Amino acid sequence: MTRTLGFKLLAVLALLALLAATYWLLHQTGALATILNRTELHDHISRLGAWGPLLVIGLMVLAIMVSPIPSAPIAMAAGAAYGHVWGTLYVLLGAEIGALAAFGLARWLGGETLRRWFGERLSLGLLGSQNALMGIVLVSRLLPFISFDIVSYAAGLTALSLWRFALATLIGIVPASFLLAHFGGEMTTGESDRIMISVLALGAITLIPFAVKLVRDRLRRPPT
């Protein structure tokens, strides 16, 4: 084992320990319970005034770096505090920074190791196709049941370029970020009809990749 590889292995262990300690600290201090409670989090954000957006952005980054922390309550609290437009922008900024940080960490810590193991084979086939990898990241961002955090870390271990990852992530998270912020804003109005529409729209995001695939398959099907 080379000195560089040994250093990176220690860095991985230290990072895992740091993330675990962060989660434990948040749980023990009650901060995690506040994050999970949209109403309490909204109150904390509102009381911070001009520093509130920085808290939203920081919490979004933290939620992506520390996988067990959910980001949906943060996005809804941002929408409740700052409205649809600004709430969405703060959520997008935090999510994008968090995704890039996770991608960069995985690339720095694991990229060299994979290249040592697989060599040129890493650049061949599906795992080396920039368009295919970008499409996979984009589709995964549109599916709420696929872990945003795991995809961000996993993408850093592939041959996908940073700018393609950033673009696919940004495009893919816009719909969910807007709808979560919108949903959080509507929750403050108490109007059940508008809340129901927001919930249905959020669920409809899941169907987008399937609809695109269905249309593509139909277009490729030879005429009978």
Tell me if residue 87 falls in helix, strand or coil. helix
What pLDDT is recorded for position 141?
85
What pLDDT is recorded for position 43?
87
The residue among 203 and 167 whose pLDDT is bigger is: 167
State how far the Cα of 157 lies from the Cα of 109, in Å rounded to an integer. Answer: 9
pLDDT at residue 164 tops 60: yes
pLDDT at residue 176 tops 50: yes
What are the tens digits of pLDDT across the range 10-68?
776 777 788 788 888 888 888 878 877 778 888 888 888 889 999 999 999 998 888 77
pLDDT at residue 149 tops 50: yes
- Helix segments in 38-191, DSSP class H: 38-47, 52-65, 72-118, 130-142, 148-155, 162-189
| Global pTM value | 0.74
Angle, CA 178 vertex, CA 173 and CA 184 arms, to 5° = 125
Contacts of 33 (CB under 8 A, 6+ apart): 40
pLDDT at residue 125 tops 70: no
Whole-angstrom CA distances from 163 to 72, 82, 121, 134 are 25, 29, 22, 10
What pLDDT is recorded for position 166?
95
Looking at the chain, the whole-number percentage of residues with pLDDT higher than 70 is 70
